[in-house]
Amino acid sequence: MRRVWDNPLVRRLMASMAIAVVVAVVTGPPGSSEKPSAGLSGSFAEKSSFFGLFQTRRFVVFVAFALLFWGAWSLWLAWGEMVKFRSTKLLRRPRAVTERRSIRWSAAIVLIVIGFLLPTFVHDPFWQTVMVEQIAIYVLLALGLNVVVGFAGLLDLGFVAFYAIGAYATAWVTGALPTPAPFGGPINPFFAIPIAIVMVMLAGIILGAPTLRLRGDYLAIVTLGFGEIIAIFANNLYGITGGATGTNQIPHFSIHLGPVKYLWGLAPVPYYYLALGFVVLFLVVFSLLEHSRVGRAWTAIREDEVAAESIGINPLKYKVMAFSIGAASSGFAGVMTAAQTNFVSPTSFGLLFSINILVLVIFGGMGSIKGVLIGAIAIQTMSMYLIHTPPAGYQPPDLYIYLGALLVVMMIFRPAGLFPSRRRKREIGLAEAGEGHMDEVLTGDVP
């Protein structure tokens, strides 16, 4: 009996079966509290099409899936190294091309042009809205979180707080909250952009100065709690925030410059262009920052805080700076959301939000602006596709099941992300080889 278990083929088969069961249950019908087993039994007993060939029960499909997976896995272990070797040989040339500067610039310009022309191809109002509310906004948030997690190496699990502060700041200065607006009355949300960005950056400094003294793992849990605390306050300070219902009185953006009058109304496309402009702005600013002395100082702190301090870098100052700069783009995202939907309430900034953004950063590759951009667009498009054409049994909150699983899978197989930053990839490799001092920064353990 022991013999059988020790056989790697058998073990792999069992693992494949276990994975198939998990996938079956995750993609299966929902259960209910009355019949908690309904989800489970439905996941296997319900009818389904067998890869589009014929109708059968789900468990047949998943057994087939497990066998295929097992076969592919075993084959990969047997032949994978060779395939990898061959493919890197084949891929070497194009990779060298992408590193050339002029090519990277022209690629960036092509991307911007595509981004600019995109609304002319997308006519479905659902996808037009998604482009603004779910992609552009999330790209902004992910770029901001990437500064914190990717550049400075600080695991911030309450990043949504800055987004919320940006949105509430907009509501405040435009006179949509129960508290009277500052600056002598309501103002155009356009002016809210700089005000909100300054406010979230200040919030980043105020929150960061005490908490960023903490070592990395404690910082993660404190920020996690902090996201919740912001929600509690937003929910309960009726006189200031409008309480649980929030406000739906935020005006749209508008321009009144002499003869030029333009109002951003309900249509998403004008917002798309506004957001695109800011995405490009933040992309440029953040990548300049990455390759500046500030970016290098962040890398130094992330890799070895003690050594960084010994050459005169003040870790706290740079960490607070990362918090504050990272907050800026999410503050803008908050303004956008508030002005476009006219609406802000605590429910928009729930527990799940911060993790959603974290997934975007991790998936693409923390520290890699290109990766984060692609990752954010890819994941948000996929998750919106699931809402647009949901598979049988799919409910919108199920998304977080997939996102959670994705985090685990990424950490096991590709911790540096799909399009990793070269430095980050090297760092993780070195940490795995027992070199470097990355963990010390996180846990404060000095060996």
Using alpha carbons only, give the angle 366, 372, 377 rounded to the nearest 5 degrees: 150
> Do 400 and 355 meet the contact criterion of CB atoms below 8 Å apart?
yes
- Residues 404-433, interacting with other proteins (CB under 8 A): 404-408, 410-412, 415, 423-424, 426-428, 430-433
Nearer to other proteins, 25 or 269 (CB): 25
> Do 354 and 148 meet the contact criterion of CB atoms below 8 Å apart?
no
The count of residues interacting with other proteins (CB under 8 A) is 97
Least distance from C-beta 186 to other proteins, angstroms?
Answer: 29
Tell me which stretch binds other proteins (CB under 8 A): 3-11, 33-41, 91-99, 381-389. Answer: 33-41
Cα–Cα separations (whole angstroms), residue 248 to 100, 339, 447:
49, 10, 54
Least distance from C-beta 37 to other proteins, angstroms?
Answer: 9
Least distance from C-beta 91 to other proteins, angstroms?
Answer: 21
Nearest to 326 by CA among 182, 179, 149: 149
Nearer to other proteins, 49 or 443 (CB): 443
C-alpha gyration radius of the chain: 24
> Do 363 and 409 meet the contact criterion of CB atoms below 8 Å apart?
no
Cα–Cα distance between 7 and 174 in angstroms, integer?
68
Nearer to other proteins, 133 or 303 (CB): 303
* Residue in 74, 235, 249, 381 binding other proteins, rule: CB under 8 A: 235
Q: Is 285 exposed, middle or buried (0-12, 13-18, 19+ CB in 10 A)?
A: middle
Nearer to other proteins, 145 or 339 (CB): 145
- Residues 118-157, interacting with other proteins (CB under 8 A): 153, 155, 157
Nearest to 419 by CA among 142, 225, 206: 142
| Interaction between residue 392 and other proteins (CB under 8 A) | no
Name residues whose C-beta falls within 8 Å of residue 426's C-beta, 6 or more positions apart in sequence.
Answer: none
244 to 283: interface string for other proteins, x by CB under 8 A: ----------------------------------------
Nearer to other proteins, 125 or 210 (CB): 210
Nearer to other proteins, 62 or 264 (CB): 62
- Residues 283-302, interacting with other proteins (CB under 8 A): 285, 288-289, 292-297, 299-300
The helix-helix angle for 101-121 and 58-98 (nearest 10°) equals 130
| Interaction between residue 17 and other proteins (CB under 8 A) | no
Name residue 55's beta-bridge partners. Answer: 49
> Do 174 and 334 meet the contact criterion of CB atoms below 8 Å apart?
no
Nearest to 353 by CA among 390, 319, 397, 386: 397
Nearest to 214 by CA among 154, 144, 162: 154
* Residue in 255, 307, 382, 392 binding other proteins, rule: CB under 8 A: 307
φ and ψ of 394, to 5 deg = -85, 130
> Do 438 and 427 meet the contact criterion of CB atoms below 8 Å apart?
yes
| Interaction between residue 80 and other proteins (CB under 8 A) | no
> Do 144 and 215 meet the contact criterion of CB atoms below 8 Å apart?
no
Using alpha carbons only, give the angle 182, 185, 190 rounded to the nearest 5 degrees: 85
Nearest to 436 by CA among 336, 303, 258, 323: 303
* Residue in 25, 64, 202, 240 binding other proteins, rule: CB under 8 A: 25
Least distance from C-beta 263 to other proteins, angstroms?
Answer: 31
Nearer to other proteins, 250 or 438 (CB): 438
- Residues 326-385, interacting with other proteins (CB under 8 A): 351-352, 355, 358-359, 362
Least distance from C-beta 99 to other proteins, angstroms?
Answer: 14
Least distance from C-beta 26 to other proteins, angstroms?
Answer: 7
Least distance from C-beta 294 to other proteins, angstroms?
Answer: 5
Least distance from C-beta 425 to other proteins, angstroms?
Answer: 9
Nearer to other proteins, 195 or 399 (CB): 399
Q: Is 393 exposed, middle or buried (0-12, 13-18, 19+ CB in 10 A)?
A: middle
Tell me which stretch binds other proteins (CB under 8 A): 49-57, 106-114, 126-134, 208-216. Answer: 208-216
Nearer to other proteins, 222 or 275 (CB): 222
* Residue in 218, 271, 346, 386 binding other proteins, rule: CB under 8 A: 218
Least distance from C-beta 112 to other proteins, angstroms?
Answer: 19
| Interaction between residue 236 and other proteins (CB under 8 A) | yes
Which residue, chain included where needed, has tokens 């309501």?
Answer: 186
| Interaction between residue 84 and other proteins (CB under 8 A) | no
